[in-house]
Chains A and B, each alone.
Chain A
Amino acid sequence: MSTTFVPRARLRPGTVSGLDIARPVNLALVGVLVLVTLVAALARVLAPYDPIQPVGPLNLPPFSPGHLLGTDSIGRDLLSRTLVGVQSSWFSALAVVAVGLVVGGTVGVVAGASGGRVDAVLMRVTDLFLALPGALVAIAIVAALGPGLTHTLVGVVIVWWPYYARILRGEVKALAARPHVEAARLVGTGRFRLLSRHLLPGVVPTAIVTASLDVGNVVLLLAGLSFLGLGQQAPAPELGADTSRALSQLLSQWWVPGIPGLAVLVLTLVANLGGDAIRNLVSGRR
């Protein structure tokens, strides 16, 4: 009595679950995420003018001929400044999340997989960092190292990685309690292989989802810090700093501070919706 038959449908990986419209919508949102990344990457090419040099009349409103989003108080093209600002914001946020994920992920996975003393020490260190007030530490670090984008990023990463450590440690711990890990140990699988083959792939979906939902938060935090003058230094374009510097024009020429501010809003929204979409797509497959 051999039961070797495997239905074809079962061998086809990733069968679609449900035939509702959720999937196309999610895919479209991820598409928008990719589009924003492309625009950010090609900002210098797409920008019609040099974002730093005055190129036209002062304070032109949006939809003026030659200047789609108008100009600021010294005649710089707002579209060019916003595009380059989006570039620095977007890639800074991605970098912070990526570094946080690598550092926090390593700490969390090692702690969760080792257990015992290693776990205790690593997690108490993580707790120490979690106890620091986030934005304040970033401000303090920038104040100590001097203003500049790199210093801001270092400051943000320091307060950001512990979250990933926490979440991924929990995931690994839950996975490590599953019988398949014991079965692998019984078979004689080594420590490193156990970690890399039997535990790590299981936390990748969680890591991706957590990280993608976080990009929006980092965009906001970075914009907030540079609004306070702790980010990219003038005259380089930066969304938060541009909003802050032109704030006095809010009532007379709203678009000068308004457009970089709106760009932050759109970026955050795209990041959050895209993150949600990724979560839905990943969890649907599990």
Chain B
Amino acid sequence: MSAVATQPETVRHEAVEPVATVEGFSLSLVRDGARTEVLHDVDLVIRPGEVLGLVGESGSGKSVLALSLLGLLPQASRPQSTGTVSVTGVDMVAADEATRRRVRRDALGAIFQDPMTSLNPTMRVGRQLREVTHDDDESVRLLETVGVRDATLRLRVYPHELSGGLRQRVMAAIAVAGRPRLVVADEPTTALDVTVQAQLLDLLRELRDDFGCSVLLITHDLAVADQIADRLAVMYRGELVEVGPAAQVVRAPQHDYTRSLLASRLSLGSPRDERFAAPGADAPAAVVVEGARREFGTRRRGQTVAAVDGVDLRIAAGEALAVVGESGSGKSTLLRMIAGLDRPTSGTVEVVGGGGAQMVFQDAGSSLTPWLTVGETLAERLRGRRLPRADVRARVEDALAVVGLGPEVARARPAQLSGGQRQRVALARATIVPPSVLLCDEPTSALDAALAKSVLALIRDLRARFGMTVVFVTHDLAVARLMGDRIAVMSAGRVVEVGPPDQVIDDPQHDYTRSLLAAVPELVGRTEGAA
């Protein structure tokens, strides 16, 4: 294709003509009634056949850049731009809709974070594939290429009948069906478990190798990008702060922001907190779980599934237990039973001693009542004590101070706070009257790396301050290692392995633990690919 044959051959790259070029691109959008600049003077070249990792925290503008490349900027936000974003020589911001659609069809493929919302829920997979392949045999071939087994059968199912990983594979099949020059993958693995994430990343690289297309992999996780990217681009507040070969960016970052991004990443090698000593074997128990089983009815009558399938655990007072598992392993159900929000079908779950259990939820935003102010929410836990108003206020402000928030936050409503602030408020609610057991259900999985790290540090501080027992549920082994005196690995409703972090990570006993460990993305700094 030689749509831009007249472009001067610059000395920057070899004579290879880039698939996409972003030049001096600035973009402003209208958000909440105010025009804000979301991209500032971005220069980026995507070469044929390369995997380019675009890394940045939420709100850094990386997804907007992807939408610009796809020519899908939301018109409702009234985009205004300077500079160019061209794909195969067509300006995807300035060109008319018909031209952009043609480029999307002929040269672009896209994979988004949530395949459930990007696939049409009312159409069978086969029909959605046929829209791009026009032929069922071709669809089957494609599905097999992206690693879907029993592809012929899968054509007949609806998206909701597939697992998250399979849905994302179907999206990938649709994305590469038209033999695109460039596949834009926006956080394609964020909603997936680590083992599935590893498979999907492999798949993206294979697609590059088999189809020769370029891949723009957008992610907030440096290590994920580093797994397969030839080059990395780091984005911060709408600007590209660093672009370079993956190995160079990871090993010798030039920009402060890249360095802080690398520093905030938790890995299996991060230093652990030395404050806590594992309690001795004779320590009194705080939580005792014996033969706990929780069944849920399925849609078919009389049939049940055991979310938790016979779990025995004894958590000592003052101990921190990290429960690790993938989605559907039963870890959240176990936590809810300890909290008393759910009851075991058989067996017992007991919180020993007074003080009770308090819980911090995964999505702090929805765990706070939206129309109550933070102060009102926190004061609810003090209601039983009939304190005078001034005392309540003082205790609320103290609790906020403990989690690193100022007294003015008491007057704010949850919608006015950032994700990190909300999670701090949730922690303040749990600890305003210190509980004997603090339950955490993936409290940091929705937060950016730096924020997550500070919230994890806060939870450890609270534990040290109040001497609470902590049960911390997570899908991330690195987080579990940091937070737990012991790690319990759950799979299919059972605890398959329990032990101190070093033992579980250095010498895993169970196959499942091993596969979980193997799938954890670690920064390696690969050298540039064969391109």
The interface size bin for chain B is: 35 or more
User: A124 at interface (Cβ–Cβ under 8 A)?
Assistant: no
Q: Is B366 an interface residue (CB 8 A)?
A: yes
Q: B358 on the interface (CB 8 Å rule)? A: yes
Instruction: Write out, one digit per residue, whether chain B residues 432-458 have a CB within 8 A of any chain A CB (1) or not (0).
Output: 000000000000000000010010010
Asked whether A251 is an interface residue with its Cβ less than 8 Å from the other chain, the reply is no
User: Is A186's CB under 8 angstroms from B340's CB?
Assistant: yes
Pick the contact of B412 from A6, A182, A186 — CB < 8 Å?
A6
Q: Is the CB of A4 within 8 A of B339?
A: no
Whether, in the assembled complex, A188 has its beta carbon less than 8 Å from a beta carbon of chain B, the answer is yes
In contact, B359 and A183 (Cβ under 8 angstroms): yes
- Please encode chain B, from 22 to 39, with 1 for each CB lying within 8 Å of some chain A CB and 0 for all others: 000000001011000000
Is A2's CB under 8 angstroms from B412's CB?
no
Tell me whether A178 and B366 are in contact in the complex, defined as CB-CB below 8 angstroms, given that A3-B424, A17-B32, A17-B33 are known contacts. yes
> Provided the pairs A186-B341, A188-B381 are in contact, do residues A197 and B406 lie with their beta carbons within 8 angstroms?
no
Q: Which of B292-321 contact A (CB under 8 A)?
A: none
Q: Contact check, A197 vs B372: say whether CB atoms are below 8 A apart.
A: yes
Within the complex, what minimum Cβ distance (angstroms) separates A104 from chain B?
Answer: 22
Q: Are B366 and A187 in contact (CB under 8 A)?
A: no
Question: Which candidate, B120-128, B205-213, B277-285, B415-423, is the interface stretch facing chain A?
Answer: B415-423
B507 at the interface (CB under 8 A from A): no
For B339, what are the chain A residues with a Cβ–Cβ distance below 8 Å? 186
Q: Is B96 an interface residue (CB 8 A)?
A: no
Taking A179-B363, A186-B359 as contacts, is the C-beta distance between A3 and B420 under 8 angstroms? Answer: yes
Contact with B along A1-45 (1 / 0, CB 8 A): 111101000110101111100000000000000000000000000
Any A CB within 8 A of the CB of B367: yes
**A13 and B408 alpha carbons, distance in the complex (Å):** 14
Tell me how far the C-beta of B504 lies from the nearest C-beta in chain A, rounded to whole angstroms.
Answer: 29
CB contacts (< 8 Å) of A198 on chain B: these are 369, 372
Is A202 a contact partner of B404 (Cβ separation < 8 A)? no
Q: Is the CB of B369 within 8 A of A6?
A: no
Contact between chains at A18 and B380 (CB < 8 Å): no
The distance from the CB of A21 to the nearest CB of chain B, in whole angstroms, is 13
Tell whether A187 pairs with B416 under 8 Å between CB atoms, given A180-B368, A182-B341.
no
Instruction: Tell yes or no: A189 within 8 A of B by CB.
Output: yes
Closest partner residue, chain A, to B426 (CB atom): A183
Q: Which residues of B contact A66 (CB under 8 A)?
A: none
B360 → chain A, closest Cβ, in Å? 9
Docked Cα-Cα span, A1 to B263, in Å, equals: 15
Contact B409 A10 (CB under 8 A): no
By beta carbon, the residue of chain B nearest A189 is B380
How far does the Cβ of B381 sit from chain A's closest Cβ, in whole Å?
A: 5
Interface flag for B352 (CB, 8 Å): no
Q: Is the CB of A11 within 8 A of B412?
A: yes
A1–B405 Cα distance when bound, in Å, is: 11
Given A3-B420, A4-B406, A179-B363, answer yes or no on A187-B429 (Cβ-Cβ < 8 Å): yes
Please, how many angstroms separate the alpha-carbon atoms of A18 and B32 in the complex?
6
Chain B's closest residue to A4 (CB) is B406
Over the window 361-400 of chain B, the binary record of Cβ atoms lying under 8 Å from chain A Cβ atoms (1 yes, 0 no) is: 1010011111110000000110110000000000000000
Contact pattern, B 1-35, Cβ under 8 Å of A = 1, otherwise 0: 00000000000000000000000000000101100
Interface size on A, residues (CB 8 A): 29
A184 within 8 A of B: yes
- Given A17-B32, A179-B366, A198-B369, do A3 and B361 touch, yes or no (CB 8 Å)? no
- Taking CB atoms, residues of chain B closer than 8 Å to A180 are 366-370
Is A245 interfacial (CB 8 A cutoff)? no
Which partner residue on chain A sits nearest B450 by CB separation? A1
> CA A189 – CA B376 in complex, angstroms?
12
Whether B40 sits at the interface, judged by CB under 8 Å, is no
Contact B409 A3 (CB under 8 A): no
CA distance A267 to B291 in the complex (A): 67
CB neighbours (8 Å) of B406 from chain A are: 4, 6
Residues of B within 8 A of A187 (CB): 358, 380-381, 429
With the chains together, A197 CA to B409 CA distance in Å? Answer: 20
Inter-chain contact A3/B404, CB cutoff 8 Å:
yes
B256 nearest CB across to chain A (Å): 16
Per the bound structure, the CA–CA distance linking A27 and B416 in Å amounts to: 25
What residues on B are CB-neighbors of A179 within 8 Å? 361, 363, 366-367
Residues of A within 8 A of B33 (CB): 15-19
Q: With an 8 A cutoff between CB atoms, is B413 at the interface?
A: yes
Residue B255, interface by CB 8 Å: no
Question: Interface digits, A196-226 against B, CB 8 Å rule (1 contact, 0 not)?
Answer: 0110011000000000000000000000000
Q: Which residues of B contact A183 (CB under 8 A)?
A: 359, 361, 367-368, 426, 429
Q: Which of A182, A188, A193, A202 contacts B371 (CB 8 A)?
A: A202
A128 to B404, CA, bound (A): 55
Contact between chains at A6 and B409 (CB < 8 Å) = yes
Assuming the contacts A3-B421, A182-B341, A185-B341, asked whether A11 and B370 have C-beta atoms less than 8 A apart, the reply is no
Expressed in whole angstroms, the minimum distance between the Cβ of A191 and any Cβ of chain B is 13
In the assembled complex, the Cα of A131 lies from the Cα of B347 at a distance in Å of: 46
Is B251 an interface position by the 8 A CB rule?
no
Q: What 1/0 flags go to B237-260 for Cβ under 8 Å of A?
A: 000000000000000000000000
In the complex formed, the residue of B with least CB distance to A200 is B371
Q: State in angstroms the CA–CA spacing of A3 and B447 once bound together.
A: 14
| CB–CB A4/B341 < 8 A | no
The answer to whether the Cβ of B156 comes within 8 Å of any Cβ in the partner chain is no
Q: Are A197 and B369 in contact (CB under 8 A)?
A: yes
B411 located at the interface, meaning its Cβ lies under 8 Å from any Cβ of chain A in the complex: yes
Closest A residue to B457 by beta carbon equals: A1
Is the Cβ of A10 less than 8 Å from the Cβ of B361? no
Cα A198 to Cα B33 in complex, Å, equals: 30
Q: Which of A2, A3, A180, A183 has the most CB of B within 10 A?
A: A183
A198 to B357, CA, bound (A): 21
Docked CA distance A286–B378 (Å) = 23
**Interface hits, B309-349 → A, CB 8 Å:** 339-341
Closest to B340 in A: A186
Q: Please determine whether A6 and B421 come into contact, CB atoms closer than 8 angstroms.
A: yes
Closest Cβ neighbor of B409 among chain A residues: A6
In the complex, what residue of chain B is closest to A286 when comparing beta carbons?
B370
Q: How distant is the Cα of A2 from the Cα of B451 in the complex, in angstroms?
A: 11
> Out of B363, B384, B416, B424, which one reaches A11, CB within 8 Å?
B416
The chain B residue sitting closest to A183, CB to CB, is B367
Question: What A residues does B404 contact at CB under 8 A?
Answer: 1-4
What residues of chain B lie closer than 8 Å to A11, measured between beta carbons? 408, 411-412, 416
Q: Which of A4, A178, A185, A201 has the largest number of chain B CB atoms within 10 A? A: A4
The 9 closest A-B pairs by CB, nearest first: A4-B406, A2-B404, A179-B367, A10-B416, A183-B367, A180-B369, A201-B371, A179-B366, A187-B381
A to B CB contacts below 8 Å, 14 in the list:
A2-B404, A3-B418, A10-B417, A11-B408, A18-B33, A19-B30, A178-B366, A179-B366, A180-B368, A182-B361, A183-B359, A187-B380, A188-B384, A189-B380
- A interface, CB within 8 angstroms of B: 1-4, 6, 10-11, 13, 15-19, 178-180, 182-189, 193, 197-198, 201-202
10 other A-B residue contacts (CB within 8 Å) besides A183-B359, A197-B380, A198-B372: A1-B404, A2-B405, A13-B416, A19-B30, A180-B367, A182-B361, A183-B426, A186-B358, A193-B383, A202-B371
